[in-house]
Structure 1
Amino acid sequence: MYKVLIVEDDPMVAMINEQYVCKNKDFCVQKTCRNGQEALEYLEETNGTGSKDSSIDLVIMDVFMPLMNGVETLKKIREKKLDCEVIMVTAANDPATLEETMHLGVIDFLIKPFAYERFQVALEKFIANDQAFRGAQQTIDQNYVDSLISNGGQLHLQNNELPKGIQKKTLDLLTDYLKEKKGWVSGDQISEDVGLSSVTVRHYMSYLVEKGEVNGEINYETGGRPSMLYRFVL
């Protein structure tokens, strides 16, 4: 199981991030820090010792924080060669911040407010990146390098093979349904109309959102728990 450090000064956002992380069985939240300085000190304790048993695998971090902001913290993490990956979750939407964090090697960059499904896509990117490097042989060839780089850290699937857990028949069923709807539709409505469980629908929608074939947004006007809306990208 991957160990996660959440770095966020807003307690409500930190709680939401933790809930989203814990919904993925491959991750657990080890600690939450309120600023970059606190996070850096913690990472030096866990990841600076060289022990994999206690080290953090993934940092989910805001940009705007007191004492030390996210970009400064990320720079320090890289300077000190603390072995962990970073996902930025922030309201910062300027190109300069995005470019700088990408140059510093973030796995993903999520802009608030973000959808649950998009958050899970970021976690899956981390897993794909980690597994790609773990799966590498002691020596690698040019084909392996080209496949890794061209697919953002995840090796290309051969012969149009779909990812594990994605079936072509179910995928076609859902894409055809969304094409016919020609508008926003909730995940619960999709589940009811096509006869699939809500968990299955969320899984496939996350895949389609990542591919850019479907748009997703949160509907807060439900009177209760917010729900996800989807529509096919025309």
Structure 2
Amino acid sequence: MDDKYIKVLLIEDDPMVQEVNRQFIERLDNFRIIATASNGEDGIRKIRTLSPDLVILDVFMPLKDGITTLYEIRKEQLDVDVIVVSAANDQHTIRKMIQNGAFDYIIKPFKFERLKKILKKYYLFRTQIAMDALMSQNQLDQVRFQNGNSSVLVEKGVQETLPKGLNEATLKQIYEFLTKQDSALSAEEVADGIGIARVTARRYLDYLKETGTLELDMQYGGIGRPVNKYILKYIR
């Protein structure tokens, strides 16, 4: 990354939306639009030749859509981060983009403040990662979870200031684990999957349920009490 600014490539097929996004981003210090592309094929070519730091990627595009474009970026191991800005709000698309490493997902229409917020977090993430050749686990957790990619949780209703005793890094770990599941899980299953105590997993799961991020699915098996299981709302 250039010391002066983050280089941004816009991949968006609608000229009016492309121009609005350009104006939004160029209102911020430390970000510069270095090129635009109107489809995924052109976008991939420009990533290879221009080496942007960040791509703002649409989903619905001709020739190559955003899902395929992001998949190819990862397949080719192109060194670029991606923020998705799209009208696509279906569960399948959102999950695919998150699974392929999108730094954030913004649903159109959106307010400038929403984009501004994540770009500021992204700037902190990139600059702090670049500063240290070696990092401790604590430093990595601070950068990755507190300054970086927690916005999906915030958009789901999770408060940025967590209740006492809850850690944002653990919350993010649990959330990302749940995005990869196709069915509801118990606190014990989540705890085993992540490697934490069941009582700890239960506290975070209950918090996510209270914020509206999770749904509770009570399952009745054989003899005994029903088992409380949790699932992300958008997986339903």
By the TM > 0.5 criterion, same fold? yes
CA offsets, 1:22-78, max 9 Å, x none? 1012111111100000100111122xxxxxxxx211110100100000111011111
Match of 2:124 among 128, 136, 145: 128
After superposition, residues 93-112 of structure 1 pair within 5 angstroms as: 93-112=89-108
After superposition, residues 54-203 of structure 1 pair within 5 angstroms as: 55-136=51-132, 138-151=133-146, 153=148
RMSD over aligned Cα atoms: 1.6
C-alpha deviation, 1:144, in angstroms: 2.2
TM-score, normalization: structure 2? 0.58
Structure 2: state its 5+ residue gaps. 150-236
TM-score, normalization: structure 1? 0.58
Contact 1:9 1:35 in 2 (8 A): yes
CA distance in 1, matches of 2:68, 2:44: 10
CA distance in 2, matches of 1:91, 1:9: 12
1:33/1:131 CA distance change after superposition, 3 Å:
same
Structure 1: state its 5+ residue gaps. 47-54, 155-234
1:104/1:152 CA distance change after superposition, 3 Å:
farther
CA distance in 1, matches of 2:141, 2:112: 31
Contact 1:128 1:153 in 2 (8 A): yes
* Count of residue correspondences: 145
Contact 2:124 2:147 in 1 (8 A): no
C-alpha deviation, 1:152, in angstroms: 5.6
C-alpha deviation, 1:123, in angstroms: 1.1
Partner-residue secondary structure (3-state), 1:60: strand
Contact 2:85 2:106 in 1 (8 A): yes
Amino acid of the residue matched to residue 137 of structure 2?
Answer: Q
Q: What percent identity do the matched residue pairs reach? A: 38
Match of 2:38 among 29, 34, 37: 34
